[in-house]
Chain A
Amino acid sequence: MNDFYSLKLLDRMEGLIRRTGVDYRTLRLILQTKLTMDGRRTPTVMAANRKDTEASSGSPLRVHWIYLLFGLVLIPFVVVKGSYIFTMGLTFGLLMFLISTTLISDFSAVMLDLREKNILHTKPIDKRTLNMAKSIHILLYLMSLTLTIAGPSLLVSLFSQGVVFFLLYGAGIILLDCFILVFTALCYLVILRLFDGEKLKDIINYVQIVLTVGLTVGYQFVSRLVSFSLLDTSFTPDWWYYAIPPVWFAAPFEWFVGGNGNAATTALTLLALAVPLLLLAAYIRLMPMFERSLQKLAAEEAGGRDNGVLARRLSAFFCQNRQEATFFRFTWSMMKNERDFKLRTYPTVGLSMALPFIFILNIAQGSGGVSSLKSSPGYLAIYGTALLMMTVVQMLRYSVSYKGAWIYKALPLQPGALISRGVLKAAVLRLLLPVFAVEAVIFTVLFGPRIIPELGTALLALLLYSVICWRIFPQALPFAEKYEQASRKEFTGISFLLLFIMFGFGLLHYLSTRIPAGIVIYSVILAAANVWGWRSAFGNKTLQGERAAGAGV
């Protein structure tokens, strides 16, 4: 086991940690083991006999490139002088958004982990140490994530704004991290207390989705600050400013750097300081209760009673081949039942539902009211739902019960094409189409019935896009790999490419509306491409076990 840099940093704080009554030696040992494990990939069933040496790459503490990119975007905000409540509010808003969504989707599993019960809680370690180890484990990731995002702008701020700004920013980031972590944990605690068994797990799921969507929409509010604070040099906030945490964290800048010390900035600054600390105190107090309640998650489940009529009808209608239909139904029920899948996918479902409206909102604001929508091409925002397919296709390969994938090898199955098509069809019908349908209805109301034919065109494009997603991501058998944060990062490049393709489709659509009969031609081409895509994109490609598993490892 290697010695981690982060642990050496932790050693500096040994005295402080010891003072809280924690057994530091054990704490360090647990953390060291966990970090070692995080850096490894559990080999999938198919890849079990691969060499061990190559698999030790991929520490989650490696730089997250995409976040670094976001971090660079933040730099201009810390260079600008004046109206700090706006620039820093925006900065903290973006930070909060990125950090919380990542925390919810990727570290919820760590927070709600039950595996360690059997292994760690049976050892002579007191609860305080165990809880501390868990918190620090999450905190380490949170810090590395935060540093990646905020690091560049933090560094720049030292030179562009001076030491006071730099220190305020640093402290603000730490408080923000505490705030996010504790707030999320407390949300979970409330749910754990209120609900039981199956319902509990479902509710957690929904809360995660709601939180993610809420953050997205909430972030829009922060950017609304523009119109207020740029006009007004003597900052006087509306009441709802107090409900937006990023504004709290921005207030001290207005106060100490901008020199606008008044009752409002003082109050907001106090909020920024007091709320995270109070929550932290409450969290430490409530942590044992959290752990106790966690046990509820282990309670036995009563199976669902769904008899699968819908899946059977749909599969009979959309799949000609028997094996394809089987995999359609299999995927259908896995997507329905596996919470892990929902946890990772549904926030994106929510996001892809919200995103088009955010686009539209911005258009409406820019060009004066909802009435102007009727003639605008804003409905093309419906291409935003493509985001959903990108995530789903990526996630379909993962499962908590990935070990069950031995059946692919043991059963007399035809090569991959039929499996893939059944799986993808199920994903499209279960997730893409409902979301699309809801959006289409709302868009029709907003933009008028003129867009209905064009929505049909967009649907064709999205269907084609689904196939493209499937082709571009490394091929894999469904639900056959263990989800690990590290492995997912390798798809960042592909995701970007797919994002561009999504914009490409939207752009083509827009251009085709500019030329006469263009949209008809575009639709015909799309229809033909769909027929070809769904027929042959899967055709000649076999999913050999080794290759499929190897692709994700």
Chain B
Amino acid sequence: MNLGEEPVIEISGLWMNYSDRMVLRGIDLAVYRGQIIGYIGPNGAGKSTTVKIMLGLVEGYNGTVRIFGKDIKSGDATYKGRIGYVPEVAEMYDSLTAREYLTFIGELYGLPHEAAEAKARRLMALLDMERVYDKRIASYSKGMKQKVLLVSSMLHDPDILFLDEPLSGLDANSVMVVKEILATLAAKGKTIFYSSHIMDVVEKISSRIILLDGGELMADGTFAELQERSTEGTLESIFNRLTGFDQYRDIAGEFVAAVMDGEAG
């Protein structure tokens, strides 16, 4: 099977509503090997819902989602063994130590205990986390927790990575390391689905950018293609224009006025 031609992820006609409102309105999307997708959009645009549907966390959608060529509605969870996930909220069993947690996750992905432990230790050491490897995750700083999440998502050498704000809390040096890791993984044929609100990063690392607003795809293409279609120079300004947001200066001005207004706030 030549994965280079077949899409790794294929979404067609995806609709989703939560009790009263539509979150996704007919998403069509095909993602291929080796792509780094920058998945962007304002809060509540439906980004995490899409990802959660693909992970089988949310059910009750309309449309089809095929991952590795298989419809995920079948209920077979084995495809998840080839996916890594870094959720937006750093939810972990944080009363465990990193060693315990990562070994546990590795084993859930089907690695033997010793292999999971050894690999977790090696990856953590590379991220400069050897010192706290046997400490409880609850005592970690935000950046350290993020590193644990990153390692836990890659332990099993997945073919697709879903990353939701994967750089949050990381220091500048770690950011460089992780960006490089992602680029290298993509070059080796892995697919990366990268959601973030930090446009500079998305602009730099994504090979393809997808903008979602109000549950619909507003733009899809490389950064260069998006630039061609508009007059603005940065992804941030393209984002602002596509989501119809232009009064940031006024709002900022009013905000500062309110802050400095003593009692009025």
Contacts and interface: CB of A to CB of B under 8 A. Distances in A.
A33 B96 contact: yes
A234 interface: no
Nearest to B134: A52
Given A1-B100, A43-B139, A48-B139, A120 B55 contact: no
Nearest to B107: A29
A121 B54 CA distance: 12
Contact of B92 (A1, A119, A127): A119
Nearest to A129: B77
A124 B94 CA distance: 21
Given A52-B136, A122-B83, 17 more contacts: A26-B108, A33-B93, A33-B96, A36-B96, A37-B96, A120-B108, A121-B57, A123-B80, A123-B105, A123-B109, A124-B79, A124-B110, A125-B77, A126-B75, A127-B75, A127-B77, A197-B19
Nearest to B75: A127
A265 to B, nearest CB: 46
Contact of B78 (A33, A42, A118, A124): A124
Interface string B89-118: 101111110001000110111100000000
Contacts of B58: 295
B128 interface: no
Given A49-B139, A117-B57, A118-B87, A40 B77 contact: no
A119 B110 contact: no
Contacts of A1: 100
A125 B55 CA distance: 12
Nearest to A29: B107
Interface of B: 18-19, 55-60, 75-81, 83, 85, 87, 89, 91-96, 100, 104-105, 107-110, 135-136, 138-139
A40 B95 contact: yes
A33 B104 contact: yes
B18 A299 contact: yes
A305 B80 CA distance: 41
Given A37-B96, A52-B135, A122 B57 contact: yes
A19 interface: no
Contact of A123 (B19, B108, B139): B108
A53 to B, nearest CB: 11
17 contacts: A30-B108, A33-B93, A33-B104, A37-B93, A37-B95, A41-B95, A43-B138, A43-B139, A119-B92, A120-B108, A122-B57, A122-B85, A124-B79, A124-B80, A124-B81, A124-B110, A125-B108
B58 to A, nearest CB: 7
A12 interface: no
Contacts of A120: 108
B55 A122 contact: yes
A196 interface: yes
Interface in A370-421: none
A292 interface: yes
Contacts of B108: 26, 29-30, 120, 123-125
Contacts of B75: 126-127
B100 A36 contact: yes
Contacts of B109: 123-124
Interface in A105-134: 115, 117-127
A323 to B, nearest CB: 18
Interface of A: 1, 26, 29-30, 33, 36-37, 40-43, 48-49, 52, 115, 117-127, 196-197, 292, 295, 299-300
A30 B58 CA distance: 22
Contacts of A52: 135-136, 139
Question: Which one of B60, B77, B136 has the greatest number of beta carbons of chain A within 10 Å?
Answer: B77
Contacts of B93: 33, 37, 119
7 A-B pairs closest in CB distance: A124-B81, A124-B80, A123-B108, A40-B95, A122-B85, A118-B91, A37-B95
Nearest to B103: A1
A292 B83 contact: no
A34 B81 CA distance: 21
Contacts of B107: 26, 29
Contacts of B59: 292, 295
Given A122-B83, A127-B75, A48 B138 contact: yes
A36 B104 CA distance: 12
Nearest to A114: B91
Contact of B138 (A42, A117, A119, A124): A42
A123 to B, nearest CB: 4
Nearest to B44: A300
A484 to B, nearest CB: 9
A118 B57 contact: yes
Nearest to A26: B108
Contacts of B56: 121-122
Nearest to A299: B18
A1 B19 CA distance: 42
A52 B109 CA distance: 28
Given A119-B92, A122-B85, A127-B77, A29 B104 contact: yes
B93 to A, nearest CB: 6
Contacts of A117: 57
A119 B91 CA distance: 7
A29 B93 CA distance: 14
B144 to A, nearest CB: 13
Nearest to A484: B95
A300 B20 CA distance: 11
A197 to B, nearest CB: 7
A202 B135 CA distance: 38
Contact of A115 (B19, B91, B100, B110): B91
A1 B100 CA distance: 7
A125 B81 CA distance: 9
Contacts of B138: 42-43, 48
Nearest to A1: B100
B211 to A, nearest CB: 22
B77 A126 contact: yes
A197 B20 CA distance: 11
A145 to B, nearest CB: 22
Contacts of A300: 18
Question: Which one of A26, A118, A299 has the greatest number of beta carbons of chain B within 10 Å?
Answer: A118
B81 to A, nearest CB: 4
A41 B96 CA distance: 10
A47 to B, nearest CB: 10
Contacts of A26: 107-108
Nearest to B96: A37
A299 B94 contact: no
A1 B92 CA distance: 17
Contacts of A292: 59-60
A358 B74 CA distance: 55
A42 B138 CA distance: 7
A42 B18 CA distance: 33
A36 B135 CA distance: 15
A40 B138 CA distance: 11
A126 B75 CA distance: 8
Contacts of A30: 108
Contacts of B55: 121-122
